[in-house]
Amino acid sequence: MAGDATPSQRRVLFALALCEGEREVFGGQFLELAGLRTHQAADQAIKPFLKGPTAVLEKQGSKVRFRERFMRLWVLSRVLRNPRVLPTGLGREGQWVQLVRPHLGGLLQ
């Protein structure tokens, strides 16, 4: 399903992988990171990933997280290899890229 994702859906997945457990999903910083203007736009982008037998995300109360840790690591590795996938990606040393490095350790060195 991720291969058929729209650009805004991919940005939400990348932003969620970066922010999971560290930032409020749908908060101002999350929306900025994902390059979205409204809570509704983020909600629309996330909905397809919460449903069906191949759902990659799960909602627990007001929190959204990846069902599988491997999927989150895979998405994080995509961000690290190409930080420009996010509107706020400022190159390989940008502030959001720095959030990725601790999660991947030496895997991509």
Q: Is the dihedral of CA 28, 29, 33, 34 positive or negative?
A: negative
User: Dihedral of CA 21/94/56/34: which sign?
Assistant: positive
Give the three-state DSSP class for 62: coil
Contact 80, 96 (CB under 8 A): no
What pLDDT digit, counting tens, does each position of 7-57 carry? 888 888 988 888 886 667 778 888 888 888 898 998 899 999 998 887 999
| Domains in the chain: boundaries | 2-103
pLDDT of residue 109: 46
Span 56-108, pLDDT tens digits: 999 887 788 999 989 988 888 887 777 666 665 545 555 655 665 565 555 44
pTM over 0.75: no
